[in-house]
Amino acid sequence: MPLFMDLHHVEQVKPVEVAEAHLLDLKIQQHYNCNAMTYWMDQSRGKVFCLIEAPDRESVIKLHSDSHGLVPHDIIEVDESLVQGFLGRLNDPTVFEMRNGAKVFEDSAYRFLLVVHLEPQVLMENRTDKETALNTYNEFHRLFSEIAHGTGGTIAPGSSEYKVISFKHPKCAVHAAELLGDRIGNFSENVTYRIVLHGGEPVEGSRLMFGSSIEAAENLYYYNGDSCLIASNLFLDEAGGDDLKSVLEEMNFCFPDISEEKFFHKLMKCIREHIDDPEFTVQELSLMMYMSTSKLYRRCKQLSGLSPNNLIRDIRLEFARRKLESCEDNIASVLFGHGFNSPSYFTKCFHSRFGISPRAYKNALV
C-alpha cells in the first residue's frame, strides 16, 4: 500500500492536542483502509507531519476530516527508506508520556543536512584508473558510514553524485563535515568533492521528500567559493547565527551572503525550468532575473565563476549525464530532452565537460 506524508499548519497547538488528534485517527483508520503510523510535530514552527499508509491521497484527507477535522495543507507520497534515512523512524518514538490513552511527545521533523557532492565513480575511473577509483570509493563509503554513525546522523538515500547525512542537531552536522573534510583529503588526492550544510523539512513544496532542501544544496555546488566546505544562510539562521558562523570560518567554510544566495537560487530555478528548451537564451534569462544581460553576466561570473551561457550549458550537461545513468533512453532522446538540438555539439560539450564521450560514459555504466 502507498505511503504518504502530510503537512498540517497548526498555530499554538500543544503536544497533547496533537496526540489526541492522532488517537482519533487510530480509532477510525480501518474504515478508510489506512494505517496512521506516526507523526512529527514542531510546536515552535506550528507544523505537524503525519505518516500514513493509505490507498490514495483522498483516503488520507477523508480520515483526517472525519476524525478531527484538521485537513492537511499538503500531501506527498514517500518511500520507507527515505523516511527512515532522513527522520530515523517509521513508528512512534520510544520515549513518550501516556495521557488519556494517547502517546504524547514532541519530535521535530526539521533536519540539518550534510550533502556531499562527489565526482561519479565512472568519471574518476576515466580520469585515473579503475582500481584507483574503486579503492577510493570503497574507502569513502566506509568513512562516510563511520562518520555518520559516530556523529549521531542517519544516512539518507542519495544518488551517484551526492550523499546525504541527516541530523537533528546542527553541531553534529558541523562536526561530521569537519571530520569528513579532513579525512577525505588524507586518504586520497583523487576525490573531487564539495560538502554543503543546509536544512529543511520533509514536505516543503516539492513532490519529493526533502526535495526542495536537496535542490538548494545542489545549487550551492555551483557557488564560486574558495573552499570545499560551504554553509547556507538557512543553516546558519537555524543553527545559531553569528556564533556558529565564527566557528565555521575557523574551519575554512565559505558562505554566500543572504542577497547572493537568494539571487543564486532564483537563477538556478529559472535555468532548471527551461533545461529542455534549446531556444532558451541569456536574453530571456536576464528578463526573468529583471536585469540587463551585462549585469547578469557580471553576477554570474562573480557567484559561479561561469558566464550565463556556460552555466546554462553545464547544468544541462549535468542533468543529461544523470539521465544517462537513470534510464534506458538512447543518447539522442537524452540530448534533445536537455536543450541540445545537435548530437555532434552535445558530444563535443559532454566530452569537454566530463572528459569522456556520452556513449563511452553510458557503456561504462553497464
Query: What CATH code is carried by the domain that includes residue 328?
Result: 1.10.10.60
Check whether residue 121 and residue 234 sit in a common domain: yes
Task: Answer yes or no: is pLDDT of 172 > 70.
Answer: yes
Check whether residue 243 and residue 179 sit in a common domain: yes
What is the reported pLDDT for 311? 96
Of 33-47, 68-82, 142-156, 229-243, least confident by mean pLDDT is 229-243
Check whether residue 100 and residue 116 sit in a common domain: no
Among residues 199, 221, 256, which one ends one of the domains? Answer: 256
Task: Answer yes or no: is pLDDT of 188 > 70.
Answer: no
- With residue 112 as reference, give the H or E element that holds it: strand 111-118
Check whether residue 178 and residue 233 sit in a common domain: yes
Residue 38 corresponds to which cell in the numbers above? 506516526
Check whether residue 85 and residue 22 sit in a common domain: yes
Check whether residue 122 and residue 95 sit in a common domain: no
Q: How confident is the model at residue 187 (pLDDT cuts 50, 70, 90)?
A: low
In whole angstroms, what is the distance from residue 18 CA to residue 23 CA?
Answer: 9
Q: How confident is the model at residue 184 (pLDDT cuts 50, 70, 90)?
A: confident
Task: Answer yes or no: is pLDDT of 153 > 70.
Answer: yes
Give the model confidence (pLDDT) of 212-269 as tens digits. 999 999 999 889 877 889 999 999 999 876 678 888 888 889 888 899 999 999 999 9
Q: What percent of the chain has pLDDT over 70?
A: 98
Give the model confidence (pLDDT) of 8-50 as tens digits. 999 888 999 999 999 999 999 999 999 999 999 999 999 999 9
Among residues 72, 104, 136, which one ends one of the domains? Answer: 104
Residue 271 corresponds to which cell in the numbers above? 535555468
Check whether residue 225 and residue 318 sit in a common domain: no
DSSP 123-185: HHHHHS-HHHHHHHHHHHHHHHHHHHHHTT-EEEP--SSEEEEEESSHHHHHHHHHHHHHHHH
Between 134 and 227, name the one with better pLDDT.
Answer: 134
Check whether residue 21 and residue 88 sit in a common domain: yes
List the beta bridge partners of residue 154. Answer: 166
Among residues 54, 70, 104, which one ends one of the domains? Answer: 104
Range of the domain at 281: 257-366
User: What's the full length of the chain, in residues?
Assistant: 366
Check whether residue 22 and residue 92 sit in a common domain: yes
Check whether residue 61 and residue 126 sit in a common domain: no
Query: Hey, is 200 helix, strand or coil?
Result: strand
Check whether residue 127 and residue 229 sit in a common domain: yes
Between 116 and 328, name the one with better pLDDT.
Answer: 116
What is the reported pLDDT for 149? 96
> Per the structure, how many domains does the chain have?
3
Sign of CA dihedral 218, 224, 225, 226: positive
Residue 147 corresponds to which cell in the numbers above? 562518520
Average pLDDT in the chain = 93
HEC sequence for 198-257: EEECCCCCCCCCCHHHHHHHHHHHHCCCCCCEEECHHHHHHHCCHHHHHHHHHCCCECCC
What is the reported pLDDT for 204? 92
- Rounded mean pLDDT of 49-53? 98
Number of CB atoms found within 10 A of residue 124's CB: 21
Check whether residue 182 and residue 261 sit in a common domain: no
In whole angstroms, what is the distance from residue 323 CA to residue 318 CA?
Answer: 9
Q: What percent of the chain has pLDDT over 90?
A: 78
